[in-house]
Amino acid sequence: METLPADFPFASAHVSLAPHVVYRTFAAETVILNLQTGRYHGLNKTGGRMLELLERADSVADALAEFASGYGKRPVEVEPDVRTFCRRLHERGLIEIALNGAG
Amino acid sequence: MAPAEVLGNAFGLEIEASFAIPVLGPACAAASRRARCEARSARELEERWPDEGSASALERRYPDGRLFLSVRSHPDAGFRIWAPHHGRHLVSPDGTTIQSALPRRNTLGWQRLFFAQTLPLAAALQGLEVLHASAVVLHGRAVAFTAPSGTGKSTLAAHLVAAGASFLTDDVLALEQRNGVVEAHSGPARISLSPTELRTMNPRGRALLGARAGTAEGKILLEPVVAAGARPLALLYRVTRSPRYAGPAFRAHVPARPLAILASAFLPYLQTPGRLRNQLAICDRIVSTVQTFDFEVPASVPADEAAELVLAHSASALSR
């Protein structure tokens, strides 16, 4: 999986689940299954919530705003963690990230 | 080709075979899938197996480098399972046909390979999920034990059978969802136990473990009466043994831990999208409908005592 550049504009990007990936949310963790590699990946409750919001939102900025408000924080406070989260899932081939309007 | 007849069932499959396969459970309605087993010569199998285009799915070797077990897969031909002196089998991609070349001697050896690898693979290819687990039946419901190899899940199951539980399966547990319930299927009527453990049992308990079939790899192979068919899976214990534990303890998985369940999947080399999706779906049902626990056993606690603890704990858990 291609590494995203350091200055990648996450805020305006759209996140979608990779086509070969399925996931299930359980009470305390979310299990992501990569059907290409056969590997399971676990996310804690916070990570699972973030993934749901990213997949549903039109942009990372929208997901970030909803995520931050759910934890009583400002988006700027959680943005670094969300960036890292997105990068890690992307590096593992679990999500696709595209710039809105880039097709 | 010799005519085939239905011999019985194991792992949720009705087994039809042209050669004798002992210790299968009686044919029953629970097995809605069928596997046909045909005897072949080793040469016939090798001629039928297209080595070109096949890939190694699993290879295990003895410490001295000799081959212990080889499983190869081919997109059109299915799987070839081979263990020197233990026979070889071709399993069709859909798991409905097994062609077997069996050694003339080493009857127990080929049976071990057949029950431990070949039939579970056929079951998984037919849509059943298989866990590395032993299981017994208590109060009409299946109680299963997962554990790392060598931790003693077979020994624990044997002591439970000796204490009056019904035997369901040893080492491989086939599961499927039916009407929202996780059903646990019986395996072949065979369990292995160390001679030391067998000596700790009283004559009545020993008798409940059935006839002695022989020995293999230092273990005694016994043939308990199997509770043939399927039972709803009610309890799943993950057994760990350690000298660090201060005392035996049961710890409920609250909330449930799906990755711990997925980690006990058998045949990890089988990673077709269909199997993986099924695995996740079964895991979801287990989390929703089965009580799951860690059972921590100090290394100093003998297996018969651990079995008594499980009997008491499971009686309480099943009454909830």
Query: Average pLDDT by consecutive 10-residue portion of chain B (320 residues)?
Result: 77 93 79 91 96 95 96 97 96 98 90 96 97 97 92 94 96 95 96 94 95 92 94 97 95 88 93 92 94 96 96 95
How do the residues of chain A divide into helix, strand and coil, expressed in percent and rounded to 5? 40, 25, 30
On whether both B256 and B278 belong to a single domain, the answer is: yes
Chain B partners within 8 Å of A20 (Cβ): 273
pLDDT at B85: 93
pLDDT at B24: 87
Instruction: Look up the ipTM and state it.
Output: 0.71
What b-and-e string marks burial along A44-70, b requiring 16 or more CB atoms within 10 Å of the CB?
A: eeebbbbbbbbeebebbbbbbbbbbee
On whether both B174 and B287 belong to a single domain, the answer is: yes
Q: What backbone phi and psi angles, to 5 degrees, belong to B64?
A: -85, 5
A4 vs B282, more confident: B282
User: Taking CB atoms and an 8 Å limit, are A26 and B276 in contact across chains?
Assistant: no
pLDDT at B254: 84
On whether both B160 and B294 belong to a single domain, the answer is: yes
pLDDT at B250: 98
User: Taking CB atoms and an 8 Å limit, are B255 and A24 in contact across chains?
Assistant: no
DSSP 8-state assignment for residue A20: T
User: Taking CB atoms and an 8 Å limit, are A26 and B277 in contact across chains?
Assistant: no
What distance in Å separates residue B240's CA from the closest CA in chain A? 22
| pLDDT at residue A21 tops 70 | yes
User: Taking CB atoms and an 8 Å limit, are A31 and B276 in contact across chains?
Assistant: no
| pLDDT at residue A89 tops 90 | yes
On whether both B118 and B179 belong to a single domain, the answer is: no
pLDDT at B255: 82
Question: Which residues, 6+ apart, have CB-to-CB distance to B288 below 8 Å?
Answer: none
Q: Which of A25, A31, A43 to mutate to test the interface with B (most CBs of B within 10 A)?
A: A31
On whether both B25 and B147 belong to a single domain, the answer is: no
For residue B135, give its domain range.
130-318
pLDDT at A1: 65
pLDDT at B212: 95
Q: How many Å apart are CA B178 and CA B72, to the nearest integer?
A: 32
On whether both B97 and B220 belong to a single domain, the answer is: no
Instruction: Specify the residue for token string 């931050």.
Output: A68
| pLDDT at residue A103 tops 50 | no
Chain B partners within 8 Å of A29 (Cβ): 257-259
pLDDT at B105: 86
User: Taking CB atoms and an 8 Å limit, are B256 and A28 in contact across chains?
Assistant: yes
A86-95 average pLDDT score: 95
What distance in Å separates residue B5's CA from the closest CA in chain A? 37
* Tokens linked to B312: 């008491």
Q: Which of B211, B289, B232, B9 shows the shortest CA–CA distance to B122?
A: B9
**CATH number for the domain that contains residue B254:** 3.40.50
Report whether CATH 3.40.50.10490 matches the domain A10-99.
no
Spatial strand order in the sheet of B211-216: B191-193, B219-223, B211-216
pLDDT single digits (tens) B73-85: 999 999 999 999 9
A24-37 average pLDDT score: 91
